[in-house]
Structure 1
Amino acid sequence: MNPTVVTALDLPFPSPGGSVELFLDLYTGRSPFLPARSFMLAPEHRGLRPSVPAGLELVQAPGKCLTGYAFRRYVATLQRALTEAVDPGNVGVLHLQHLAFGATPALLRAFPKRPRIALVHGTDLLFAETHPEQLATLREAARAADVVVMPTGAMADRLLLLAPDIPRRTIEKIPWGIPDRLITSPPPRRRNQPTSHLRILYAGRLTPEKGFDTLLTALPLTRSTELSIAAPRAEFHALRPRLHQLGVHVHYLGWLRRPQLWKTFADHDVLVMPSTTLEAMGLVALEAQACGLPVLHQPVPGLTESLGGSALATDFADPHAVARELDRLRTSPDLLPALRAAGATNAARFPLSTTATALAELGKRLA
């Protein structure tokens, strides 16, 4: 028998981001890969009652913040909410998500004697590098974990720089995965070669570390390209002045649900990922590859490991280099088909079922 998993993300549902999608993929749905008591925060706005997937529970824990006394008070509030929701006697193993934020210390204090598997996400490391409270929270959680799961070697290296006293024997590499059905039955492609224009897609957050501004500076140097953006609405609206300043026209698609995004892949020629620092794995890139969409990316740690030679790398800090690669994709008839074939082979290495099986085996070992 698999031990009962209890896990939480202290983000309001729904929230954008790859770690949220992975969380929902693993623990929720009518037949989840990992049956669990899984929690996210209820929206604080009164009257807003989102429809949640099967298996996801929402807890009331207002006051989410990052530092100081208010952070400690918020962790205590979340701890009480989790303790009221779950009988400690029914907890088999804790899956700690987002080690630098409030849900992890709340779970550790609510259920102090349970085995702990820590799953480290890219956001944890990026915040720990710049926020002392998040660094201390990350270190405490990593030391308390029985196993620390990292999706790539690059992530493990970065964690050990931030928390060098973590015993290396507790670190285990388990790559994140994408839904199996996307690998076996991707949406049909409706566009195999550029016609008059190369259709470029950017899909993700528009936060500074994603490097979107570097892409914008390259677009005026290219010929015959069209850019579509799938991103959170508030982040896109904040970008409008920059778009106007550069004179760049884009098609805004909204923040798409996963099945919508997969269908959108079929209408474009290339996905761009100009991230400037670190990607845990770049799940959106793997999903694009599974759907036959080639990827042009900045070779940052994590992403280079998951994509290898299956995608096209370039220096997004050099707008002329980016423009040259985009023009080459548009004019070289054999390049896009070769990248599509290589990408599909690469994406097939990362089924979500493999991730879930490895995590379940860890839980059995610790229980």
Structure 2
Amino acid sequence: MTTPMPRPLVATCLDLPADSPGGSVELFHDFYTGPDPLIPARAFMLRPSGPAPVLPAGLGLLTVTGKTLQGPTFHRYVAALSRALAHALAAEPVEVLHLQHLAFGATPALLRALPDRPRIALIHGTDLLFAEQHRDQLQVLRESARLADAVVAPTPAMADHLLRLAPHTDPRKIHHIPWGVPDRLLRHPPAPFGAAPAERLRLLYAGRLTPEKGGVVLAQALAALPGIELSIAAPAAEFGAFRPVLQQAGVDARYLGWLPRPQLWQAFTEHDALAVPSTTLEAMGLVALEAQACGLPVLYQPVPGLVEALGASALAVDFTDPAAVARTLGRLRTARTLLTELRDAGRANAARHPLSTTATALAELGRRLG
């Protein structure tokens, strides 16, 4: 039997408070934390301003304040974060850096703290969006892409977008490694809950409610549509800010809370379809892949990232066109065989993306760079 190659020790940092919601945070934990992480790492996030949350094994907290996006305060924040990382990693046998995002503060801070290690940068999508909106973040992104020994893009669309923002990036250093679904979910998905009555369609939205996620267009598309029961799983503060949008559209939504991962997976089995109405781009749309793994059909706006990750395994629909949404949801209510077909296609698509395969590819890339 072949003995697995040891995986190089990684240093990585996500400069978000440890209690932050979002797909990038979940992926970070999937890779680097827990009692038996897929990637051996010294992984750090920021200490929250409130009470410290229950932390997964292997996650360190950095007490660095003043996070911002541009101007002199941004550069002071990066310098403070770099000093904290250098101190925390001084005695660690780190072999490779994983730079989460090409923008924001953790990437330049890690580059300063450990300047002589191989560097793998991982595109998450928000780094590209913020680089478009903030001059300093665009500068960080371009410099990070230049200094990285390898850049990992989960979809070709993310690589193309990066090259538009940083056209001098050497395309030979860009590697396409898709993100993945936890293997335990693929092996043991939750049991189906049961179908809704024929006259109803249980639609779920799950994720952040930031503008680029398309909550507003979803509410507008569902206005005055009969027979649709909308549930929303999102951070509480974001749902509170979003409630007036629902009220203005006349949409009565059931709020589920910001669900822990196992509870979200169970919620997938209690609905008939997941709506992913993102308006700009997605790195890969992990929530959609996890829904597919649980047997939940997906309706998605065909934006970069989602098109490559989902393709024909899900139903593309223009959420900015209420008439198109009405026709699509009407089809799903009256032709239940379509839901069955989408359920089968989705499970097959999710099975193509086990997270262990992603981790193995990242580890092999790190060994090659070392």
TM-score range, shorter chain: over 0.9
- Mapped partners of 2:88, 2:238: distance in 1: 34
Name 2:64's counterpart in structure 1. 61
- Mapped partners of 2:154, 2:251: distance in 1: 36
Q: Structure 2: which amino acid aligns with 1:9?
A: L
Q: Structure 1: which amino acid aligns with 2:351?
A: A
2:271 aligned to 253, 268, 287, which one?
268
Q: How big is the alpha-carbon RMSD for the aligned residues of Structure 1 and Structure 2?
A: 1.0
- Mapped partners of 1:68, 1:220: distance in 2: 42
Q: Within the alignment, does 1:157 sit opposite 2:160 as a pair?
A: yes
- Mapped partners of 1:183, 1:154: distance in 2: 25
- Mapped partners of 1:62, 1:87: distance in 2: 21
- Mapped partners of 2:224, 2:318: distance in 1: 15
Q: Normalising to structure 2: TM-score of the pair?
A: 0.97
Question: For 1:3, what is the secondary structure of its paired residue?
Answer: coil
- Mapped partners of 1:33, 1:192: distance in 2: 36
- Mapped partners of 1:171, 1:333: distance in 2: 42
- Mapped partners of 2:291, 2:196: distance in 1: 16
Name 1:39's counterpart in structure 2. 44
Name 1:187's counterpart in structure 2. 190
- Mapped partners of 1:333, 1:237: distance in 2: 34
Q: Structure 1: which amino acid aligns with 2:296?
A: L
Q: Which aligned segments of 4 or more residues in structure 1 are displaced greater than 3 angstroms? A: 192-196
Name 1:24's counterpart in structure 2. 29
- Mapped partners of 1:363, 1:329: distance in 2: 45
Question: For 2:44, what is the secondary structure of its paired residue?
Answer: strand
For residue 193 of structure 1, report the CA deviation from its aligned partner: 5.1
Q: Within the alignment, does 1:121 sit opposite 2:124 as a pair?
A: yes
- Mapped partners of 1:89, 1:322: distance in 2: 53
Name 2:313's counterpart in structure 1. 310
Matches within 5 A, 1:86-235: 86-87=89-90, 90-192=93-195, 194-235=197-238
- Mapped partners of 1:102, 1:256: distance in 2: 28
Name 2:260's counterpart in structure 1. 257
Q: Within the alignment, does 1:3 sit opposite 2:12 as a pair?
A: no
Structure 1 gap segments, 5+ residues each: none
- Mapped partners of 1:149, 1:20: distance in 2: 17
For residue 194 of structure 1, report the CA deviation from its aligned partner: 4.4
Please say if residues 152 and 174 of structure 2, whose CA atoms lie closer than 8 Å, have aligned partners that are also in contact. yes
Bigger mean CA offset, 263-272 vs 327-336: 327-336
Name 1:330's counterpart in structure 2. 333
Please say if residues 222 and 326 of structure 1, whose CA atoms lie closer than 8 Å, have aligned partners that are also in contact. no
- Mapped partners of 2:197, 2:212: distance in 1: 29
- Mapped partners of 1:311, 1:361: distance in 2: 31
Q: Structure 1: which amino acid aligns with 2:222?
A: L
For residue 120 of structure 1, report the CA deviation from its aligned partner: 0.8
